Chain A
Amino acid sequence: MDKNIEIKICMGTGGMAAGGKEVMAAFQQSLNEAGIKAAVSENCSVHQVGCRGFCARDVLVDVVINGEKTTYQYIKPDMVERIVKEHIVGGEAVQDWTVKEDYHTFHEKQIKVVLADCGEVDPEDIDSYISREGYEALKKVLSGMTPEKVISSIEASGLRGRGGAGFPTGVKWDFARRAPGDVKYIICNADEGDPGAFMDRSIIEGNPHAVIEGMIIGAYAIGAMQGYVYIRAEYPLAVERLKIALEQARQRGYLGKNILESGFDFDIKIKLGAGAFVCGEETALIASIEGKRGMPRPKPPFPAQKGLWGKPTVINNVETLANVPPIIRNGALWFARFGTEKSKGTKVFALTGKVKNTGLIEVPMGISLREIIYDIGGGIEGERKLKAVQTGGPSGGCIPAEYIDIPVDYESLARMGSIVGSGGMVVMDETDCMVNIAKYFLEFTQAESCGKCVPCRIGTKRLLEILSRITDGRGRPGDIDLLITLSEDVKAGSLCGLGQTAPNPVLSTIRYFRDEYEAHIYDKRCPAGVCKNLLTYTIIEEFCKGCTMCARVCPAGAIVGEKKQPHRIVQEICIKCGACFETCKFKAIKKG
C-alpha cells in the first residue's frame, strides 16, 4: 500500500477562526496515533495552505491521495478521526462531509491568476512556491531582460493598478525609471483600508512569495535597491507570514546583494501601519513611513518624481504586484487575453453581504454582476430580493438591482457612479436601508478625514449631520438638494482621493434610491425597516401565544404580559433593538 497522501488545511484568518489549527493538530495526532503513516505510506504529509476563497465553509480540508483530490467542508477536530479511518486508511471518502455541487459552481466561472496558488502552496515554505514555478519569472528577468523590456512587457499586458485608481502599472514604472537620481524606492501598499475588502490580506497570507517576487521585478525595472511593504497592523497573520517569506527569500539569494549572481542588489523592509485609512493615499503613506502624521500633500510632484525621502518612488498595491510574476512567465499577450479592451486581466473581489456564498473570488474583467451574484454567489440569502451592490468601499457607490447586467470593469462602474476600487463587493437586499448605508460610509470617511483640507474635514462632517437627521426622522424639505450641492463641492475642493470620493456613496444612493430618502424626510418612514427612530415594534395580539420568549430576550425589560396571555411592548422603554422580532416564532411582532 504505497500511497502518496497530502492533506491541505485552510489556514487563512478565516480558516483559523473556524479552528484550522485544531483540525491540523487533530490530523497530525490521528495519523501518528494509529501508526497510519507507517501503515499506508511514508509519503504522507499535512500542510497548511492559504485562503482558497470560500471562507464561509471553513475549515476546508483537501485530502489528496495519489493526485486525486477530495475536499471536505465545515470540518471540526472531532470529525478528523473518521476521515482518517475511512478515507485515508479505508480508501472511501466520507461522503456526508465532502463539498457538494455548490462548492464547484462557486469556482466554475472564476479564472485564477493571482489566486492560482492560494490554497495550494504552503505560505510558510518557499520550496512549495518554487515547485509551482515560483521565482521563475525573476530568473527570466535577471538572465536576459533589460529593465526597459520588463516595463514594456507590463505595459503591453495592460495591467492597471488594483488598489483603486486603475493607473497603468507599466506607465508608472516608466515614470520612475526615467526620473533622475541614483536612489529610488518601491513600496508595496498593503494598507488595505477599505472596509469590505480583504484580497490583499488573503494574497499575503496565502502566497507571500508572489508579492515579493513581483516587488523584486518592479525594483529591477525602476532601478530601486530598497523596498518597503507598508502593511496594516490589523493583519497579524499576514505580517508574520511575510516576515517568514522575506527571511527565506534572503537565504535563497532572491533578496540581498548580487541577486542570483546578476549584480542587482535589493532588499525589503516591513513597515507596520498604525491605523489610518488615509494612509492608503500615496503621499500620506510616504509621510507615515517617514514617521509623521499620515497627511497627503498636493501632487505634482508625483511620488515617481519625488517620493519617499524626496526620492523617486513607485507605490504598487499587493494584488498588482502579485500579477507581475505570471505576466512575465506567460507573456503579456497571455494576460491581455482576459478581460475587456481597456481593463485587462482578472480582478479579485471580496464578495460579501447578503449572498449565499461569501468569499474571495477572482474573475475576468468584464464579467457581469449577475454572474457574480447568482452563479458564483449562489443568489441572495433567504431567497430575499436583491436591492443593490456596493462596490469600491467608502469611495464607491451602490449599483441598483436593475443594472446588474453591466460588465464589471473600470469604465462601466465609473459610468454608474461607482468604482472598481480595491474590489469590495457588498451585496444588499431589501432589508438594507440605502440612506443608512450612505450614513455608514460618511461616518467612516468623516472619522478618517485627516483634517488637513477644509472641504473634506468640514464637508464630510456636514454631510454626516444631514444624513443623521434624515435617518433620525428630523429630515427637512430641501435636504436632498443640499446633500447633492455639498457633495459636489467636497468632490471638487478636496486635496486627495479620500475627500474627492467620499461623497460617492451619498450621490449614488440619491441617484438610484431618491424615493427612499423622500420616504425618510416626508413620511418619516424607513421602507427597509432599519432606521431605529423611524421604527416601532408592536405585538399583534391575535398571533401572540404568551410564550414569554420575547419578554425574556428583551434587554430593556420593555415587554409585559402574563404567561399564555398576549404580551405588550411598552413603547417608552423599548430601545428598538429588534431582539423580540427575531426571537418570536409566531410572527406576532410587527415592525414598521
Chain B
Amino acid sequence: MTTTLEEVGAGVRDEPLTIADRTFRSRLIVGSGKYRDSEEMVQAIRAAGAEMVTVAVRRVDLDASKEESLLHWLDPEEFFVLPNTAGCYSADEAIRYARLGRASGLTDWVKLEVIGDQATLLPDTDGLLEATRILVDEGFTVLPYTNDDLVTALKLEEAGAAAVMPLGSPIGSGLGLLNPVNVRILKDRLSVPVIVDAGVGTASDACITMEQGADAILMNTALAEAERPEIMAGAMRLAVEAGRLAYLAGRMPRREWAVPSSPLGGMLS
C-alpha cells in the first residue's frame, strides 16, 4: 500500500516504525472495541491502514448464542494482534491476563495496562513498573500504557519495555493531546518508540500528536464512536501521515509579531 508520505514526500526518507524485532509501515495502531458490529470494525481498521490491532482478554460468554469469534474477523494473517490487559487494577491481575493472552499462541507481545483509578483510568505506575519487570523476565515484549511523565517512562525503558505508550488525555475522553511538551520531552530522552495511546478525538488531534515527533498513535474510541467509523479511520490515516511529514519537514519558528512575506523594498513612492 502506498502511503501519502511516499506520494507527496519526495526525497523524504522515513524509517519504518520498529518496535522490538518487528517493523511496521503504518504509524496508526487501532483498537477493536466498541464498534457497533464486527463488520464495521474491520472496515474501519482497513480504512485506517493499521497493521497492529489491540484486543482484550475476557471470559467466553457462555450464554450468548454462538457468535463468530473476534479472530474470525481479525485474521491474524492480515493483522498483528496485540492483546491488552485492560481492566486490570494490580500487577498480579495484569500479569495473569498477559499470560492468558500469550497462551492464545498468537504472540508474546502485550499492551500492558495497570489502572489505578476508575474515573480517570490513569495508570498505577508502581504496579505498571512491577508488572513490566516480571513480564520482560518471562520473555514478553511489553508495551506499557503510562502517563506522560518522563521519570516513569525512563524507568519503564530501563525495565525493558519495548516502547512506552503515554496518554494524550484520558482513555475514551477524546480531549486530544493535552500536553504536547511532555511528548516532545519523552521523544527527546527515550530510545524506545513513544506511542501516544488514548485521548485522540478527531483528525487534528492525531496530526498535532504526530507533529510533536511521536512515533505512532494508538486509538480506538475516536473511530468506534464516530458516526461513520470507516470515514473517520481514513481521516486519521491521512492525519497521522500529515503530522509525520510535518514533523520530518521541521516547522518554522513561532513568533509573537508579524513578519511580512512580501518584499519591503520596491514599494511605489
A binds B: no
Could you tell me which B residues sit within 8 Å of A by CB distance?
none
- Interface residues in chain A, defined as those with a beta carbon under 8 Å from any beta carbon in chain B: none
